[in-house]
Each structure stands twice: as structure tokens, then as C-alpha cells.
């Protein structure tokens, strides 16, 4: 049970949503944009988040788009993960979202909720980091489209009044070889010890991680080290030295165990993408 009162709003346009946020703030309220609601309800029940108004974005047509053209794929932020899974328009994304939570939960969790939420794994963002995607963001200043690399640095750098509308990728990324692996401590539905997503473009590996550090990341330094023409174990050891922060050490797994799992995951991923030449 949520131990505080919440007013629920369901706007039907982007402008209405942004306006609602401003007017609620002006009334001294603390509004929150709302997608599937699973994270909000979980954290609210535990007293770890608060909002006295939620603005449900699921009725905004722009947030529900799933479009595939010859040049571009567009994913609305209010699409459920299971909708994306069923559509299978970007196979690496399909694989990534299929490993998040469980099937029934994925009927509710939205793409935007996973990428912009507070729970730090944000595994749905990994394919978009690899595909140099563009994000459409709405806020008081209007609607803008930016590179994901300008906005996602450890987490989505949105102001409270902004929300994610869409994520777009060039269609070329849809056809590249890819690997996605998620290693858990146990079971098939929990958080990762290590998740590695990778694709190969122009004979170079691109690799993004979740569960390794307290934030998901794609590091050009790590990629450069993984792409050097050296023995595979040396490339992996060099890449691990360039991780952007100390490795997570928590109840899911110790830092040493995560590193052990990471080495093996990278070995499998690179071997799969490079074959015998690895």
C-alpha cells in the first residue's frame, strides 16, 4: 500500500503533460512523470520515493509509437517491454528487454521507465548506447532531439520537468552482428551480476555494460582496449583496467566475483563476434 496520497493525471498530449507538471509545481506539489508505475509503486511502498501527483504518459500518442522505416527505427517511451519484445524490430533490443524482470512485469514496465527510472541497471539503454541513438525529450522548453551520449551519462540527465518521448536509431544497426549476455547470481528473472551487450560495426567491437559499476556505461576507452590486436586475455585484462569506476560490491555479488564473471562474459561475447580470429 502506498502510504501517502497521490493525485493521478492522464494527459492526452505532450503539451498538456508539460503544462500539468508546471501548474502542479506552481501549486507547491511534487509531481512525477509516470510510465508503467512498477518502480514508483515499489519504492513508494517502501517509503523511498514521494510524489503527491503522478502524470501518466501512456496515453500520449508520440510515446506509443513503434515505427520501422528503411532508414530509421523509432521506439516510444511508453511502449511496454513486452510490446517491444513481440515486435522484435531491433533484435539486440529484443534480447536485452527479454532479460529484464519477468514476462508479466514486462507487460507493464515501459521503455522510458527502465531507461529513466531510479533503479540503476537501466538495461534497456545498452543497445541504444551501442547504436548511437537519438532521444526525443519534452519539457518546458519544448521538444528536442539529441544524441543519447549528450543526455545519458551514468543515468538520464533530465530535469524533473522533462520526460523521454522517443528513442531513435538508424536502421543500419538493425542488421549488425550482436551478442547480449546477462549473468545472474541465480534464477532467470533477477538483477544482473553482469550484463554485456555488444555489436560489431566496421570490424570494430562496441560494448556496453550493466551491473559491473553502479551505473550502465559504454566506454570508448574500454572499447579501444578490446579492439587492440593483442591476445584475447590481454585485451580483456586491459579493458578491465579501464573500467570507469570501482566494480560493484553488494548483496548480488562481491567485486571479485563480478570481475570473474565479467572476464568470462567478455571472453564469450568477443569469441562469438570474432570467431576463430579472436
Partner 1 sequence: MKSEVILHINGEQRSTVIRQADTLLVVLRHLELTGAKPGCLNGDCGACTVLVNDTPIKSCMMLAIETVGQEITTIEGLHDTAIQRAFVEQFAFQCGYCTPGFVMNAYALTTQKPDADEETIRKWLESNICRCTSYQEIEQAVRSVLVQKKR
Query: Rounded to an integer, what distance in angstroms lies between the CA atom of residue 181 and that of residue 265?
Result: 7
> The sheet that has 142-147: what strands, in order across it?
66-68, 72-76, 163-170, 134-139, 142-147
Pick 107 or 238: Cβ nearer partner 1? 107
Instruction: Tell me which residue of 82, 76, 80 sits closest to 64, measured CA to CA.
Output: 76
Largest CA distance in the chain: 64
Element spanning 151, H or E: helix 148-151
Q: Are 117 and 109 in contact (CB under 8 A)?
A: no
Least distance in angstroms from the C-beta of 128 to partner 1: 23
On whether the CB atoms of residues 98 and 127 are closer than 8 A, the answer is no
| C-alpha grid cell, residue 55 | 502524470
Nearer to partner 1, 63 or 101 (CB): 101
Residue-wise burial string across 127-150, b where 16 or more C-beta atoms lie within 10 A, e elsewhere: bbbbbebbbbbbbeeeeeeeebee
| Cβ within 8 Å of residue 157, ≥6 positions away | 151
Closer CB to partner 1, residue 17 or residue 44? 44
Is residue 188 classed exposed, middle or buried when 0-12, 13-18 and 19+ CB atoms within 10 A define those classes? exposed
The nearest distance, CB 3 to partner 1, in angstroms, is 8
Question: Where do contacts with partner 1 occur on this chain (CB under 8 A)?
Answer: 1-2, 4-8, 10, 36-38, 41-42, 44-45, 54, 56, 98, 101-105, 107-108, 188-189
What is the smallest separation between the CB atom of 10 and partner 1, expressed in angstroms?
8
- CB of 124: closest distance to partner 1 in angstroms? 17
Closer residue to partner 1 (CB): 184 or 235 = 184
With respect to partner 1, which residue has the nearer C-beta, 91 or 244?
91
Q: How far is the CB of 16 from partner 1 (least distance, A)?
A: 17
The residue among 59 and 271 lying less far from partner 1, judged by its C-beta, is 59
Nearer to partner 1, 89 or 107 (CB): 107
- Residues 83 and 54: their CA atoms lie apart, in Å, by 23
Whole-number minimum distance, CB 183 to partner 1, in Å?
Answer: 17
- The full length of the chain comes to 278
Amino acid at each position: 500500500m502506498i502510504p501517502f496520497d497521490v493525485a493521478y493525471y492522464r494527459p492526452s498530449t505532450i503539451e498538456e503533460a508539460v503544462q500539468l507538471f508546471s501548474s502542479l509545481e506552481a501549486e507547491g506539489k511534487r509531481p512525477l512523470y509516470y510510465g508503467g508505475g512498477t518502480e514508483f509503486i515499489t519504492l513508494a511502498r517502501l517509503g523511498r520515493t514521494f510524489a503527491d501527483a503522478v502524470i501518466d504518459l501512456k496515453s500520449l500518442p508520440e510515446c506509443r509509437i513503434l515505427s520501422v522505416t528503411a532508414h530509421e527505427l523509432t521506439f516510444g517511451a511508453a511502449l511496454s517491454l513486452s510490446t517491444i519484445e513481440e515486435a522484435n524490430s531491433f533484435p539486440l533490443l529484443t534480447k536485452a528487454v527479454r532479460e529484464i524482470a519477468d514476462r508479466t512485469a514486462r507487460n507493464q514496465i515501459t521503455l522510458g521507465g527502465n531507461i529513466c527510472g531510479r533503479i540503476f541497471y537501466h538495461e534497456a539503454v545498452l543497445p541504444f548506447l551501442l547504436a548511437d541513438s537519438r532521444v526525443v525529450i519534452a519539457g518546458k522548453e519544448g521538444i528536442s532531439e539529441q544524441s543519447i551520449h549528450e543526455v545519458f551519462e551514468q543515468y538520464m540527465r533530465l530535469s524533473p520537468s522533462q520526460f523521454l518521448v522517443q528513442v531513435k536509431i538508424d536502421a543500419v544497426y538493425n542488421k549488425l552482428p550482436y551478442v547480449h549476455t546477462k549473468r545472474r547470481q541465480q534464477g532467470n528473472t533477477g538483477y544482473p551480476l553482469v550484463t554485456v551487450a555488444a555489436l560489431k560495426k566496421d570490424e570494430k567491437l562496441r560494448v556496453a555494460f550493466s551491473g559491473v559499476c553502479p551505473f550502465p556505461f559504454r566506454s570508448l576507452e574500454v572499447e579501444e582496449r578490446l579492439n587492440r590486436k593483442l591476445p584475447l586475455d590481454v585485451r580483456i585484462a586491459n579493458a578491465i583496467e579501464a573500467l570507469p569506476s570501482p566494480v560493484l560490491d553488494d548483496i548480488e555479488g562481491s567485486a571479485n566475483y563480478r570481475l570473474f564473471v565479467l572476464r568470462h562474459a567478455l571472453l564469450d561475447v568477443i569469441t562469438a563476434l570474432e570467431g576463430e580470429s579472436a
